[in-house]
A and B are shown apart, each in its own frame.
Chain A
Amino acid sequence: MSERKATVASSSGLHARPAALFAEAAGNAGVEVTIAMDGAPAEDAMDASSILSLMTLGAEHGSTVVLRAEGDGADAALDKLVALLETYLDAV
């Protein structure tokens, strides 16, 4: 299982457009990606391609999340998603 941590850059946290962009990217990743708040148990991690799950996660600006995935291409997929989270998505 590959794992990455990322800090949420979007000024109002992960919601609406930033969440939609992220969820879509996670859905197209080719591997199943989960997301959880840093420190939360891995079993509680949510489906990163679910915009509703992202919204209920309540990830605020500056908070740290943990992305997990396994299988072929997991590392590359996670790197892309981390980059997305750490971009100021409000400007997109």
Chain B
Amino acid sequence: MQNFPGVGVSPGRIVAPVRQMPRPLADPPAGEKLAPGTTAEGAAEALKAAARTVQEELRRRAAEAAGDAKAVLEATALMATDPMLIKAAVKLINTGTSAERAVWEAAEAVAAMLVSLGGYMAERATDVLDVRARIVAALRGVPAPGIPASATPFILVAEDLAPADTATLDPSVVVALVTAGGGPQSHTAIIARSLGLPAVVAAAGVDRLPDGTEVYVDGAAGTISTEPGEGERAAATAWAANASTLAVFTGRGTTADGHLVPLLANVGGAKDAVKAAAAGAEGVGLLRTEFCFLERETEPSNAEQVEAYRGVFDAFPGRKVVVRTLDAGADKPLPFLTDATEPNPALGVRGYRTDAASPGVLERQLAAIAEAATGSTADVWVMAPMISTAAEAAHFASLCAAAGLKTPGVMVEVPSAAVTAESILREVEFASLGTNDLTQYTMAADRQLGPLAALNNPWQPAVLQLVRLTVAGSAAEGNGKPVGVCGEAAADPALAVVLVGLGVSTLSMSARSLAAVAAVLATVTLKEAREIATLALRATSPGEARERARGKLPILEELGL
């Protein structure tokens, strides 16, 4: 039996065979020539055959898809055998270039032309490059990029997973996610939690397991082992049975001694909100408004915005809904707001800062939020992302007041906001800690880089200290203004207890995590939570903080969390 220890990011115990995500294709080397013994005619024929294979595969996938996905796949299928592309590649083959390099360069030129047209056409450049990768894979006789097709369920293993990779992930076929790289706040963690899939990241060596190897994955413990025995299979069966009970959140977050901790949901739009309400969420702690408009080249109209926001408000009549204004930039570019050429997007004009560069967009969004709010009974709060100073908070508050919005707040994700929380809270009514970005900025570690996974851990003592400072800032301000958490940290039941112990008043997370957090929170009194928080604060490493907290919460082991 081989063991691969990693970082558990989404709980669950399961036994299933492994399928490796095909490795990204290496570019055919520049200047690569026809192999000895290969004629130009032979290479051209091989290219056309590979293109036809790719076209058939894409047509097959289009037949199984619907709506927009179907249209894109059909168009991409046509691209594979496109006369312009093939002619250009054959021309290069006739000058002695290998088939792989020829299609590589020909597609590069087409993609560049599309990018130069901007807008919708520029986005299709990705499709051209995807087709190119598939043709080269077919020429090399290796699996095409993308999630492997399979008739039976499997555990997807990769070096790391990007949003584009997982866009078409089907949770009835992919039953767990395991990566050799990545970190606790990587995309893998986020998508696993939102789909309720067990997941382990930073498990070195897993990407060398042969396809079909049966493994046991424990997403809470963060382990993968081969040759699962009776014990492992029993644990997996128990989890499957438990998972359905754990999925039920009775709708009231509280400690053992009755201290209320409202448990809210992070949502991206009306559909999410409806699911979250069904899962028992006590409200929305984070409406990511940019998710309503991610594909958009131009600013959405007032009517579209009002409809999108009202859809969320209507799912929570009489309940709190916290709307975050457009958080564009870094890993969420919105073409009408952000500049893709910035050298350091994470430190760039993103979130609230886009108001100075593109004035008016924020005002119009606030007006739309206000209009949507008047048509509903939800208690609408509004907060701005990336606030760094009290002056920005004050300006945002004045914009909210002008729009008729009564409860303005700020995200605390820039460390300066945590450290100067008292003066910031003087200007607004509440603060919400965005622990994902707060960790990134505090530890100066890019969220998207695998090698920095250990730093990008919300259990880092420095991050816990900033949470404590933010709460202290509210206490100093003197009006009991609530400090909530809406980052991924809230979804970790042990960390949720620490946050409550530090004085955080509400927790907002992906709806799937509500029941687990509620179950664990209900086993400790507020005093115990504070003691656990103190233990965690005194630790000198994230591992130590986590172990100490988990050591005081026996329910975690019982529930397999």
Contact = CB atoms under 8 A, between A and B. Distances in A.
24 contacts: A12-B120, A15-B121, A17-B71, A17-B74, A17-B75, A19-B75, A20-B75, A20-B78, A23-B78, A50-B82, A50-B84, A50-B85, A51-B79, A52-B79, A52-B82, A52-B85, A53-B82, A55-B114, A55-B124, A56-B113, A56-B117, A56-B121, A58-B117, A58-B121
A16 B72 contact: yes
A58 B119 CA distance: 11
Interface in B111-129: 113-114, 117, 120-121, 124, 128
Contacts of A17: 71, 74-75
Interface string B441-474: 0000000000000000000000000000000000
A76 B82 CA distance: 24
Interface in B279-317: none
Contacts of A47: 83-84
B46 interface: no
Nearest to A46: B84
Q: Main secondary structure on chain B at its contact with chain A?
A: helix
Contacts of A24: 78
A49 interface: yes
Interface in B66-100: 71-72, 74-75, 78-79, 82-85
A74 B558 CA distance: 76
B247 interface: no
A4 B239 CA distance: 67
B74 A49 contact: no
Nearest to B88: A52
Nearest to A92: B71
A50 B82 CA distance: 5
B120 A49 contact: no
Contacts of B83: 47, 49-50, 53
B114 A56 contact: yes
Contacts of A55: 114, 117, 121, 124
Interface in A35-56: 46-47, 49-53, 55-56
Interface residues of B, number: 18
A51 B114 contact: no
A56 B117 CA distance: 8
B67 to A, nearest CB: 11
Interface string B117-154: 10011001000100000000000000000000000000
A15 B84 contact: no
B301 to A, nearest CB: 16
B346 interface: no
Interface residues of A, number: 18
A55 B85 CA distance: 13
A51 B71 contact: no
A46 B87 CA distance: 12
Contacts of B72: 16
Contacts of A49: 83
Contacts of A16: 71-72, 75, 120, 124
Contacts of A20: 71, 74-75, 78
Interface string B395-414: 00000000000000000000
Contact of A15 (B82, B85, B120, B128): B120
B559 interface: no
B110 interface: yes
3 nearest A-B pairs in the assembled complex, by CB-CB distance: A50-B84, A17-B71, A20-B75
A15 B72 CA distance: 10
A24 B71 CA distance: 13
Contacts of B84: 46-47, 50, 52-53
A65 B128 CA distance: 24
A20 B73 CA distance: 10
A49 B71 CA distance: 17
B177 to A, nearest CB: 31
Contacts of A58: 117, 121
B427 to A, nearest CB: 43
Interface in A47-76: 47, 49-53, 55-56, 58
Given A24-B78, A47-B83, A52-B110, A15 B71 contact: no
Nearest to B72: A16
Nearest to B74: A20
Contacts of B75: 16-17, 19-20, 51
Nearest to B117: A58
Given A50-B85, A56-B121, 7 more contacts: A12-B120, A15-B124, A16-B120, A52-B82, A52-B85, A56-B110, A58-B121
Contacts of B113: 56
B482 to A, nearest CB: 45
Contacts of A19: 75
Contacts of A53: 82-84
